[in-house]
Amino acid sequence: MTDSAGMPSGILQDIGQSSFAKKKALRVASEIAKRRIEALNLYVPQPTQDDFHKCTAPECMLQGGNRGGKSLAAFIEDARAVLGKDPYNKYPKRDGVLAVVGYKESHIGGVVYPYLCKAGAFKIIRDKETDLWRVYRPWVPQDVARKKEAKPAPPLIPPRMIEKIVWKDRGKNVFSSIHLKTGWEIKAFSSRSKPDQGYQADLIHIDEDVLDPRHYEEAAGRLIDRSGRLIWSALPHDDNDAIARFAERAETQEEEHQRGGPKPTTVVYRISMESNPYLPEEAKRAAVAGWKSMGDDVYRKRALGELITDSVLMYPMWNRSLHDIDRYGHQLHEAKDFLINRKVPVSWCRRLAIDPGHDTAAGILIATPPSAKWHLVFGEIYIRQCTAKMIAKAISNATAGTWFQTFLIDSHGGNLTSMDTGVSPREAYEREMKALDVKCVETKNRFIPGCSVIAYREEVTRGMLAVQGAGVPQILVDFSACPNLDREMRRFRKKKSNGMVTDTGNRRTNTHAIECLEYLATYLTDVSEPYIKPRGKRKPLTAGQMRVRAYRKRQKERQEAKNPFGITSTIILGPQGTYDG
């Protein structure tokens, strides 16, 4: 039993009349009572929060809407780690390092510090039956009736455990580091600043979004030496694609695990405001009504904690389950011809589009079956630090032994003249392709300029990616052969202007393969005959044919050397006609 202050009553009964003994006993009893109601001892997680705490994956995100409980669970995880009280022994008991990355400095002072070091992370109330403190449950009528008796829970990190705080701005509660008596150190960083280097961590906690995605990239290097973990509590913002990439990787690893692959190293748990029983129902309804009035995207993001991509992605319909050629083996008889050996049949019409560039040059290969009802992206070229010789060699390898009907190129980038050589990429590519005897049916070793109207390309590509009347999109993909195209498409977002999403794609990111696909989509839409029967299998030259071709080439070169100005007839400078005598 306890007294009204929460102290064990037995302690006071055994004390004699000594004033010193009474004071000492009161101090001990008071300390025991304080420790008994420390926040970590009273915390009761929701099911999703409990799964998050049990997770041992090196990277774990708790994604949720406003007031879903994601930040509470993450800061509880922090407090358990630094106090050596993690029930699943994921962290060292002593002498560890926790790095917390907040959105801005104001986030450190207004969210991180209050959660860890101030009272009120959640509410507690004294139980009527046991007379012990416990979590306040607003869905229980008896607790609601005693609402005024509830009080804020003590700090997640008790003041007695703090040895020193190094402040950056004491008035705003912005700290640089907190040193604890367990030997742990808590470092705080703003995602607005450049990521710090040189430190090692046992646990890194990113709270909400990051202004500079390099903070997440840098985190991996800070955790290696200590085999540490990264946790991320976030409302699914769309300021950059760091959260989307994290969730994308987690989804991919889970799919591989379901197919018998390794256990995922990146895991995402999702929690919604509507599933949080600790929020009053009236407050929930009012918030939901307000968010719904602002649009479905706001409601899904704020209340349900969903990562909204369909309204910010440029091509939201791009989906493996929709565009993968493997799905249509039983539905499309022409698809079977490809899937038997995963080779494009000789009777299909092939085309190629190139996006030139030195940093990254890309190409997409597409084939049209005789029905011309759909087109298959069956390969890609993706070269970093690319030269004309490298791209010509890659095109030669991709087109070897087959006839390609058309070669397309970026009309703008292909004609930009190099300041060093005075030659455009298009001219350089064509020169190298001629040397390797790489040619297509329509223009030999020359390119046709692709459509330069971006808005039109985007409109046509969206239409071809959409499901048509037969239940099949016009563009199908062999995803195993096009990883870079798939990656770019899933990350291609619309531009933002004054905080509003526009309908224009953000082409400052990697869109090399995407633009090749757009050139092919517009060309196939505008051309009168998308399917042209190939000449058949392109046979390699025999040794005799190669010798004859080489002889004729040398003969032509000798003739050109004798007549460098290309004069083909005699020029008569005197009078012409007949002489009468």
Kind and range of the H or E run holding 335: helix 333-339
Check residue 17 and give its pLDDT.
57
Q: Where are the beta strands (DSSP E) in 356-403?
A: 360-368, 375-384
Residue 298 belongs to some domain of the structure: no
Bridge-based pairing of strands 266-271 and 375-384 is unpaired
| pLDDT, position 16 | 54
Q: Kindly state the average pLDDT of the residues 547-572.
A: 75
Same domain, 149 and 165: no
148 plus 54 within the same structural domain: no
φ and ψ of 147, to 5 deg = -55, -35
* 301 has a pLDDT exceeding 70: no
**CA Rg value for the chain:** 34
Question: 142 with 128: CB under 8 angstroms?
Answer: yes
- Counted domains in the chain: 4
* Domain presence at residue 168: yes
Beta-sheet strands, E only, within 183-292: 185-190, 203-207, 229-234, 266-271
Lowest mean pLDDT among 98-107, 216-225, 357-366, 446-455: 216-225
Single residue among 291, 311, 346 that ends a domain in this structure: 291
Q: Are residues 146 and 90 in the same domain?
A: no
Residues 471 and 511 in one domain: yes
Q: Which residue has the higher pLDDT, 48 or 14?
A: 48
CA dihedral 298, 487, 216, 60 (to 10 degrees): 70
**pTM (two decimals):** 0.63
pLDDT band at 5 (very low <50, low <70, confident <90, very high): very low
Domain's final residue, options 128, 153, 178: 153
Query: Which structural domain range is residue 248 located in?
Result: 40-115+159-291
- Whole-number mean pLDDT of the chain? 84
Domain match, 249 and 261 both: yes
Mean pLDDT value of segment 57-70: 82
Residue 300: its pLDDT value, please?
53
Domain check: are 224 and 332 in the same one? no
Contact 376, 325 (CB under 8 A): yes
Judged against a pLDDT cut of 60, whether residue 229 lies above it is answered with yes
> From CA 322, how far away is CA 327, in angstroms rounded?
8
The mean pLDDT value for 245-274 works out to: 85
The answer to whether the CB of 468 falls within 8 A of the CB of 322 is: no
Q: What CATH number is given to the structural domain containing 232?
A: 3.40.50.300
Residue 548 lies in a domain: no
Residues 242 and 362 in one domain: no
Say if residue 223 is in the same domain as residue 193. yes
pLDDT exceeds 90 at position 476? yes
Does residue 315 belong to any structural domain of this protein? Answer: no
CA distances from 6 to 59, 63, 132, 147, 510 (A): 40, 37, 7, 19, 62
* pLDDT per residue as tens digits for the range 154-204: 999 999 999 999 999 999 999 999 999 999 999 999 888 887 777 889 999
On whether residue 247 sits in a domain, the answer given is yes
In a domain, 438, yes or no: yes
Give which of 426, 176, 387, 125 is closest to 278, Cα–Cα. 125
What's the N-to-C CA distance of the chain in angstroms?
Answer: 149
**CATH code of the domain containing 465:** 3.30.420.280
Greatest Cα pair distance, the chain, in angstroms, is 161
The percent of residues above 70 in pLDDT, for the chain, comes to 83
Query: Do 142 and 261 share a domain, yes or no?
Result: no
What is the number of alpha carbons within 13 Å of residue 314 lying toward its C-beta?
25
Assess if residue 194 is contained within a domain: yes
Q: Are residues 441 and 422 in the same domain?
A: yes
pLDDT tens sequence across 517-534: 999 999 999 998 999 998
- Going by C-alpha positions, the residue among 495, 406, 513 that lies closest to residue 455 is 495
Cα–Cα distance for residue pair 479/486, rounded to 1 Å: 7
**Residue 420 sits in the same domain as residue 513:** yes
Same domain, 237 and 260: yes
pLDDT of 424 higher than 70:
yes
Count helices and strands in the chain by DSSP H and E runs: 20, 19
Helix (H, G, I), strand (E, B) or coil at 119: coil
In a domain, 92, yes or no: yes
User: In the listed set 248, 275, 291, which residue is the last one of a domain according to the structure?
Assistant: 291
